[in-house]
Structure 1
Amino acid sequence: MFHGSIPALVTPFKNGAVDRKAFADLVERQIEAGAGALVPCGTTGESATLSHEEHREVVTLCIEVTAGRIPVIAGAGSNSTREAIGLVEHAKEAGADAVLCVCPYYNRPDQAGLEAHFRTIAETVAMPIILYNVPGRTVSDLLPDTVIRLGKHPNIVGIKDAAGDLARVSLHAAGLEGEQFVQICGDDPLTLGHRAMGGTGCISVTANVAPADMAALHTAVDKGDIAVAQAIEKKFIALHKALFLSPSPGPAKYALSRLGLCEASTRLPIVGPDEAARAKIDAAMEIAGLI
């Protein structure tokens, strides 16, 4: 259902507000470059500092600009189940193809709480849901047994996993054999390994900066051209790492500003990369042939 390079879109700002034109241009750039789907208002989209009105605005704008050409997976997570349901309902009404729901953060639910959270969303809104497990940010880890139970729900169609444990791809697949359940990598440097284990794509930060190259990597994997995919990965591994030298999406926005595509501005408490990090991002972009 969801495949290939799937950029976790940044939300560009101008004078403190959402830069609608820059965002629309970034969406068009991704579609032209061969993205498999788009994710507005995820972590990289600074969803944590968008107002609910802005969140709905960005999701709607992404859907309007995309105009059905590729799927839109709208970020719709929250640490409040009721709030998450509201975001999922809006995404459905706006015409999103699926939603990406992050594990609740800060309140640290246990596995029973995580399962109840996602199951309640799935039973309240008839909408394809992709679970998003990123324990480094949420301090709650959606364990394989819980994923397997949730994956049997007809509205829960996949997972974006950023736990850093590739063995989970096989564990999920074994437990959900026969189910239509997609597994999407949530960490650019692990993409090739994740695909080899049975993953279908990557919800990518690097794709913001190099959309055509990240799409080409997945095309190479699909064709069995592993040497080509490895060559792309070697060219971009420094950039994968550089884009997390300071809290994301500060480095990605800085890189996009170097390409003249949007301002580097972020919202507090994200302040963007310092001079040393910017120099390393520049160097990684040069290795990748972007500047």
Structure 2
Amino acid sequence: MIERLISDGVHGIIIAGTTGEYYAQSMDERIRMLECGCEIINRRLPVIGGTGAIRTEDSIALAKAAKQAGVDAILVATPPYAQPTGRENALHALSVQRAADLPAMLYNYPGRMAAPMDEDFLDRIGQAPAFCAIKESSGDINRLHLLARQYPQIALSCGMDDQALEFFAWGAESWVCAASNFAASAHIALWKACVVDNNFIKGRRIMTAMLPLMQALEQGGKFVQSIKYGVSRQGISAGPPRAPLRPLNKDDKRILDQVIDTMNTTIDRIEKEKATEKEN
């Protein structure tokens, strides 16, 4: 899987994020995943290690293990279920980052964590230069505006796939996207059109082609299962989702097949059109 991502041209890899099913793994498994990932990547790409956990002590242990494994930065999320205040969440994040003494990407996903990285949190964390980016996955477009206008020192990274175009329009230069595990070329095409070429007309066309997949993933209720199936379509075994999740059924697979095939065909056509225009 990692070799495929590198050959597809991704610019970095996060190990032990949500799609990596960290929540269903033991601490030993998580540490081994960080070690294996870093060993395989072998400094060919920047690596970010996930540290999300309910207990701050566990997040600190994972941050130290990530540094020992050789990551370039860590991913720091809100502890799920606990619902910390902004101040408590900031103290958690600071403790985790200091344990690793590495650059940190914040991960705001209140839909899963049950508490947001609110303005109190951002005011406190925004004073610490080690927190250099935020993966914003709230789905709230007003959060995007808030971060872009009031916290420009924290680089925006798209964490809500069906808002990628809006993130790029507001200055985001990176995109942490789970579906790139099986559709890296499509995601890179949208990123390149918007961030590199500043061609939002082309970007809208690519985004239009990608939206059915994004909506199927974000709104279908079977996110990890769908990613794993998408990977298996490439001939790479991702294994079944960990309990309590179950694999996609035949109807789910058929619908996802149609969505992915249509997207790939459409984006290939858009890319070929632009290539022909350059030749002429």
Which residue matches 2:192? 219
Counterpart mapping for 1:147-162 below 5 A: 147-162=122-137
| Corresponding position: 1:142 with 2:117 | yes
Amino acid at match of 1:238: P
1:152-199 Cα distance to aligned partner (Å, 9 max, x none): 21221111111112332332243334x3x2111111111110111121
* Structure-1 residue corresponding to 2:69: 94
Q: Is 2:193 aligned against 1:193?
A: no
Secondary structure, counterpart of 1:284 in structure 2: helix
Query: TM-score by structure 1 length?
Result: 0.85
* Structure 1 consecutive aligned stretches of length 4 or more whose deviation exceeds 6 Å: none
Pairing 1:283–2:262 present: no
Cα displacement (A) at 1:288: 1.6
Structure 1: gaps (5+ residues)? 1-25
After TM superposition, the structure 1 = structure 2 runs for residues 173-192 of structure 1, keeping only pairs within 5 Å, are 173-177=148-152, 179=153, 181-192=154-165
1:242–1:277 Cα contact (<8 Å) kept: no
**1:240 maps to what in 2?**
214
CA distance in 1, matches of 2:7, 2:246: 31
- Taking the aligned partners of 1:170 and 1:145, their CA distance within structure 2 comes to 16
SS at match of 1:211: helix
Q: Which residue, 267, 271, 287 being the options, matches 2:242?
A: 267
Q: Contact between 2:86 and 2:120, CA under 8 Å: does it hold in 1?
A: no
Q: Please tell me whether residue 58 in structure 1 is matched to residue 33 in structure 2.
A: yes
Q: Work out the percentage of aligned pairs sharing the same amino acid.
A: 28
Is the 2:48–2:75 Cα contact (8 Å) retained in structure 1? yes
Structure 1 residues 97-116: Cα deviation after superposition (integer angstroms, max 9, x where no partner): 11111111011112121111
What is the aligned counterpart of 1:205 among 174, 178, 184? 178
1:28 offset after TM fit, Å?
Answer: 1.3
Residues 2-24 of structure 1 show CA distances to partners (whole Å, capped at 9, x for unaligned) of: xxxxxxxxxxxxxxxxxxxxxxx
- Secondary structure class of the residue paired with 1:184: strand
Task: Supply the distance in 1 between the matched residues of 2:215 and 2:233 (Cα, whole angstroms).
Answer: 17
Contact 2:76 2:96 in 1 (8 A): no
The structure whose RCO (Cα within 8 Å, separation 6+) is larger is 1
Q: Quick one: structure 1 residues 196 and 206, their matched pair in 2 at CA, closer, same or farther if it must change by over 3 Å? A: same
> Which of 41, 65, 73 is the equivalent residue of 2:16?
41
Distance, in Å, in 1 between the alignment partners of 2:123 and 2:255 is 40
Moved more, 256-265 or 38-47: 256-265
Deviation at 1:62, TM superposition (A): 1.5
For 1:174 and 1:246, the matched residues in 2 are separated by 32
Give TM-score scaled by structure 2 length. Answer: 0.88
1:120 paired with 2:65, answer no
Aligned residues: 263
Structure 1 residue 147: Cα displacement: 1.7
- Supply the AA of the counterpart residue of 2:104: I
Q: Which residue of 2 is the match for residue 5 of structure 1?
A: none
Give me the whole-angstrom Cα distance separating, in 1, the residues matched to 2:205 and 2:65: 41
Which consecutive unaligned segments of at least 5 residues does structure 2 have? 266-280
CA shift at 1:263, angstroms? 4.1
Say whether the 8 Å CA contact 2:77–2:107 is kept in structure 1: yes
> Aligned with 1:278: secondary structure?
helix
Could you tell me whether the CA contact under 8 Å between 2:135 and 2:156 is conserved in 1? Answer: yes
Alpha-carbon offset, residue 279 of structure 1 = 2.2
Aligned equivalents of 1:145, 1:113: Cα separation in 2: 10
Mapped to 1, the partners of 2:83 and 2:217 lie a distance apart of 27
The alpha carbon displacement at 1:74 in A equals 0.9
| Distance apart, 1:223 and its partner CA | 1.0
Query: Aligned Cα RMSD in Å?
Result: 1.7
Give the Cα–Cα distance (whole angstroms) in 2 for the partners of residues 33 and 226 of structure 1.
Answer: 23
C-alpha distance in 1, partners of 2:18/2:11? 19
Q: Quick one: distance in 1 between partners of 2:18 and 2:117? A: 17
Alignment-mate amino acid for residue 239 of structure 1: L
**1:82 alignment counterpart:** 57
Q: Which residue of 2 aligns with 1:7?
A: none
Q: Distance in 2 between the 1:214 and 1:270 partners? A: 26
Please tell me whether the aligned partners of residues 134 and 161 of structure 1 are also in contact (alpha carbons under 8 angstroms): yes
Pick the structure with greater CA Rg. Answer: 2
What's the CA shift string for 1:227-272, capped at 9, x where partnerless? 2222221222111122342332111111221221114511101112
CA distance in 1, matches of 2:207, 2:237: 25
**CA–CA separation in structure 2 for the residues paired with 1:198 and 1:271:** 38
